[in-house]
Amino acid sequence: MGPRAKAILPLALVIGVLSFIWTWFSLNFTFHWVTVKDELAGPGQLGLPGNFHLILPTAFIAWGLFFAAGGDNAAFGKIATASLFGVGAAFITMPLAFKTADAPDFWGIALWVGIFAFILVAILIAGDWYYVAGTFPCFAATFLWWIATGLDGWVPNGGGTSSSVESLADPASAGIGVGGGLLSTPWPWVAVNTFVTLICGCILGLLSAKLAAALTPKPATAEA
């Protein structure tokens, strides 16, 4: 086995195992463990997620950003900070956007996204501690989940009015999120869920780096 393979394979192994664990954990958390009702359509079926849930793919965004930022302790801090700024900007943008112009007009969303994109880049003036290349994906991840879960606010009751089994039978209260309204989510919870999941991705990145370093063979010390 060549030096390159010895350096890469431990990291690949660790990331593969952690990816399996995260996928299993996050999906069970969202659709079985922390639900309004588990086994919604019968034994072994999916449950109705609560407003708080984990977002499987979002963690991989922060995980990848962690390595793009250097894959070390400093990178963890950069991406955690980027998550705070990106989600925070989206948290402010969402209500401003739909109060400016609701469905079917997109210009309100476009206006405030443009304004906060400018602000997020301008913060670079404050110093190199701010990692704008990480902030933008975190900002976008929040909007991605807002769209997937019904665009609450922009579409009236898009995120649903209640997390109950009964609400799924009523499109007006179930919302228009994916899965026939299964993942309809109020917009503040979109931000909370995205931020928590991004931090999970940061933790996964740090764990993968530390575990891979522990498993990577150390170069042989030359004898005197």
Confidence of residue 6 (pLDDT cuts 50, 70, 90): confident
Q: In one letter, which amino acid is 173?
A: S
Helix (H) or strand (E) holding 139: helix 132-148
Decide if 46 contacts 31 (C-beta within 8 A).
yes
The model carries a pTM of 0.94
Query: How would you classify residue 127: left for phi > 0, otherwise alpha for psi between -120 and 50, otherwise beta?
Result: left
pLDDT on residue 221? 60
Q: What is the pLDDT of residues 117-143, one digit of tens each?
A: 999 999 999 998 999 999 999 999 999
Helix (H) or strand (E) holding 57: helix 56-68
pLDDT of 96 over the 60 cut: yes
